[in-house]
Structure 1
Amino acid sequence: MSAPLLFLDVDGVVLPLGAEPDDLRDDLGRTLSALPADLVWATAWEHSANIEIAPRIGLPRLPVVEWHDPTTAELALDAHFDLHWKTRQIVQWARGRDFAWADDEVTTADQDWIAQHHPGRALVHHVRALLGLTTADFETLRRWLRGEAEAEADGEGDGDSTGGGEGDAQDDDADERRPAAS
């Protein structure tokens, strides 16, 4: 069986808001590579992420979600459901494969829509844009990707996932929200 996919945004996730690409360290790439997932860029940077970001953090070239312009009907449905502009295309790109998606703009509307339209497991993980990925975010992703989060779905999880995941990066516990890399 294939490892789950991990869709990564750049701005506000890999690259905290206000940071410059030159500020990134390669330990971020090592930490991402150590996750039990197949990494995929899901960013408006598209292929530029492989040119500008991946080498700075020590990642190889990754697959890229190439965004297409939505149809008028898709735009209307997405507006009706208050979906992020990436949601529908990420589900299409995954083709039923389990995935986690780390983004700073996702909401419960995206979680709910994915739960109804994606047959596999999915974790929709909100990252605080000013911090980017933190140690707590990596722990949440790691546990979910290993399948450990499913046992917690009925317990302490706080609504950040679909399909049996847990952990919401929107909590206010600053002590556990240290940036993983700057």
Structure 2
Amino acid sequence: MKPLLLIDVDGPLNPYAAKPQRRPEGYTTHRMTPRGWTAAGHGKPLRVWLHPGHGAELLALADAYELVWATTWKDEANDWIAPVLGLPRLPFIDWPQMHGRSPRGTFWKTQYVLEYAAGREFAWIDDDITPADREYVDLLHPAHALLLRVDERIGLTRTDFDALAGWAAEGAETQAG
């Protein structure tokens, strides 16, 4: 069974913390109105920066991983993000609770990521991963896991995609050997 690749949107795919009015190189600007955004009372559309090449990079990783959205966008990533990047509809983690307190000072998503992975190997890309999350996963998750923190000012880079490909290849070699 392939490991999971758990994909956050805001930070890794949408470098939302880049300087305002300074879209990172290679990214295009999109105005989106997902339900969560409008339900929060925002009157104007959300500005989202996406890199059109990231879809092909993620699809290339789909040979080694099962791609899954791990984002507060939940299924709306399939409606708003996937079409722009040329991705098919992907499964998503349906967070039972978003935000709030977490065990041992971890990011609120971490416990749910482990529940979703259910003992499977996984790589997780997110901008909120901390050393506490790595310790928690090492302590409680029986399979190999890669927690890859992505700078929310830059988004995914060539180095990140190479690290994901290399980690999957190492896992495949271990299973074959």
Question: The TM-score by the shorter chain falls in which range?
Answer: 0.7 to 0.9
Give the number of equivalent residue pairs. Answer: 144
Unaligned runs of 5+ in 1: 152-182
Matched residue, 2:165: 142
Q: State the AA in 1 paired with 2:126.
A: D
Matched residue, 1:154: none
Partner secondary structure for residue 81 of structure 2? helix
Matched residue, 1:59: 87
Cα distance, 1:141 vs structure 2 = 1.0
Matched residue, 1:161: none
Cα distance, 1:146 vs structure 2 = 1.3
Which one has a larger percent strand, Structure 1 or Structure 2? 2
Matched residue, 2:125: 102
Matched residue, 2:154: 131
Matched residue, 1:41: 69
Percentage of pairs with the same residue: 41
Relative distance call for 1:21 and 1:95 in structure 2 (3 A) is farther
Q: State the AA in 2 paired with 1:7.
A: L
TM-score by length of 2: 0.75
d(CA) in 2 for partners of 1:105, 1:42: 12
The answer to whether the Cα contact below 8 Å between 1:9 and 1:42 also exists between their aligned partners in 2 is yes
Matched residue, 2:107: 84
Superposed CA deviations along residues 27-49 of structure 1, whole A, max 9, x for unmatched, are 21110111121110000111110
TM-score by length of 1: 0.73
C-alpha RMSD of matched pairs (Å)? 2.2
Cα distance, 1:25 vs structure 2 = 4.1
Relative distance call for 1:3 and 1:51 in structure 2 (3 A) is same
Unaligned runs of 5+ in 2: 24-28, 32-48
